[in-house]
Amino acid sequence: MKRQQPIELFMPPNMLKAKVGGGLGGIDLAAMKRAESAMETLKSEFGDWIAEDVAALIAARARYAKTPDAGARDALLRAAHDIKGQAPTFNYPLIARVAASLSRMIGEIPPGGAIPLSLVDAHVTAIQVIHKNRMQDTNDKTAQALCAELDARVDELVVVAAKT
Amino acid sequence: MSNYRFDRLKILVVDDNVHMRKLVVTILQAFGVIQIFEADSGDRAWHILREANPDVIMLDWVMEGMSGLDLVQMIRTDPQTPNPFVPVIMLTGHTSLDHVARARDAGVNEFIAKPVSVKTVMSRLVAVIEHPRPYVRTQGYFGPCRRRRGAEEYRGPERRSEAPQQQAAE
């Protein structure tokens, strides 16, 4: 195919490699070992961190319930998205799953579309219950059923939103 | 064994979530990185970027105000940018192909899908050190080439030649 526009392709000098060296390339196993050890030390703080993230989600939900404008919606999405990304690190995979469902619902309903507060509340309450009861086992049948139900409700909503 | 001198690197970590920043900074410090700058917003990151001129940027996508994608586009195309070639590693909970394509179109070099792990941080750092991408400049795009190999020989349709640079919506 004939190119319609000028395209410039070039390779800048690799200043990063010149700076850090590393003769054979590849991963630095000693550095990784140090980092894994530092992460183990950090784990003692994870309990507080997930509690703070859940509190931030509750606050974002309260803001959205009071004034469901674009700013409140974005704040709710950010809070859910943060938890989705971090909860697995904090050893709360079920919380991550529920937060992912909440993020998906908010993210896939177009701006201006109605996000049912009842379904937001169902997600936030589920996250609170999982956190309060320290449910860290993904095999918990009750939690699995709850997650599946939330997923199904969001599926329905997203399908309807896509058609409108 | 690689014996990288990570202590020579300047890295900017941008995330509005303090816990994620602390996690990433802890990993980088353990790698030996000494000069680590932190920003909790795109605006603050832009300010630090112009003052410190970091070697690598690790950047969250979803942030209040200026998003990670907005910041990448500024880094690549703003006349005030200190280094349009600076490698950007995006930390993201978005893993769909559509999101990945949007980030690549904005000029992101590498991705780390959350949850963040030591292994992925090391792997992406090594990728930007050892396997830098060529850069492409067209009328509508400036940034790293999306094709890791064979770019010089490519003769297919030129998507970027006509499409305006996509604006970040998140």
ipTM of predicted assembly, 2 dp:
0.86
Query: Are A86 and B114 inside 8 Å of each other by CB?
Result: yes
Tokens, residue A48: 């507080």
More confident residue, A66 or B133: A66
Residue A93 forms contact with B (CB below 8 Å): no
Domain residue limits, chain A: 47-163
Tokens coding A63: 């803001």
Q: Distance between CA atoms of A87 and B143, rounded to whole angstroms?
A: 33
What is d(CA B20, CA B35) in angstroms, rounded to the nearest whole number?
18
Residue B156: its pLDDT value, please?
A: 47
Question: Average pLDDT for residues A79-94, to the nearest whole number?
Answer: 93
Contacts of A96 in chain B (CB under 8 A): 115
The full DSSP string for B131-162 is SPPPEEE-SS-EEE-S-SS-GGG--S--HHHH
Cis check for the bond before A116: say yes or no (omega within 30 of 0).
no
Task: Round the average pLDDT of chain B to a whole number and report it.
Answer: 85
The backbone torsions φ and ψ at residue A71, rounded to the nearest 5 degrees and listed phi first, read: -65, -45
Residue of B74 and A158 predicted with greater confidence: B74
Give the integer Cα–Cα distance in Å for B77 and A47: 41
Residue A138 Cα, gap to closest chain B Cα (Å) = 16
Is the model's pLDDT at A137 over the cut of 90? no
Residue A25, chain B, CB below 8 Å: the answer is yes
> Are A158 and A104 spatial neighbours (Cβ–Cβ below 8 Å)?
yes
Chain A neighbors of B8, CB-CB under 8 A: 19-20
Q: Is the pLDDT of residue B4 over 50?
A: yes
Contact across the interface for B3 and A22, Cβ inside 8 Å:
yes
A97 touches chain B (CB under 8 A): no
Under 8 Å between Cβ of A80 and A120: no
The residues, any chain, with a CB within 8 Å of residue B54's CB and separated by 6 or more, are: B10, B11, B12, B35, B37, B48, B86
Coil/strand/helix, residue B13: strand
Q: What is the pLDDT of residue A119?
A: 96
A14 closest CB neighbour out of B6, B32, B132: B132
Q: Which residue of B has its CA nearest to A110?
A: B169
Contact B142, B104 (CB under 8 A): no
- The answer to whether residue B132 scores a pLDDT higher than 80 is yes
Angle between the B18-31 and A70-86 helix axes, to the nearest 10 degrees?
A: 40
Residue A40 touches chain B, beta carbons under 8 Å = no
Q: In this structure, what token pair is assigned to residue A52?
A: 């703070």
Residue A79 phi/psi, 5-degree rounding, is -65, -45
pLDDT above 90 covers what percent of chain A?
65
Q: Does the pLDDT at position B52 exceed 90?
A: yes
Whole-model pTM: value is 0.86
Residue A37, min C-alpha distance to chain B (Å): 9
Q: pLDDT at residue B121 above 70? A: yes
Q: Is A5 on the interface with B (CB under 8 A)?
A: yes
> Which residues of B are less than 8 Å from A11 in CB distance?
132, 134-135
Of 1.20.120, 1.10.10, 1.10.510, 2.60.40, the CATH number of A47-163 is: 1.20.120
Work out the minimum CA distance from B128 to partner chain A, whole angstroms: 8
Query: Are A29 and B1 an interchain contact pair (Cβ–Cβ within 8 Å)?
Result: yes
| Interchain CB distance below 8 Å, A52 and B22 | no
Residue of B nearest to A6 (CA): B138
Where in chain A does DSSP place strands (E)? 8-10
pLDDT digits (tens, 9 = 90+) for A28-65: 888 999 999 999 999 889 999 999 999 999 999 999 99
What type of residue sits at position B125?
Answer: L
State the pLDDT confidence band at A5, using cuts at 50, 70 and 90.
low
Q: How far is CA A43 from CA A72, A76, B36, in A?
A: 31, 26, 21
Between residues A106 and A10, which one has the greater pLDDT?
A106
Could you tell me what percent of chain B has a pLDDT over 70? 85
Hey, are the CB atoms on B135 and A35 less than 8 Å from each other? no
CA dihedral for B5, B10, B15, B21, sign (positive or negative): positive
In CATH, the number for domain B6-162 is 3.40.50.2300
Q: DSSP readout, B20-87?
A: HHHHHHHHHHHHT--EEEEESSHHHHHHHHHHH--SEEEEES--SSS-HHHHHHHHHH-TT-S-TT--
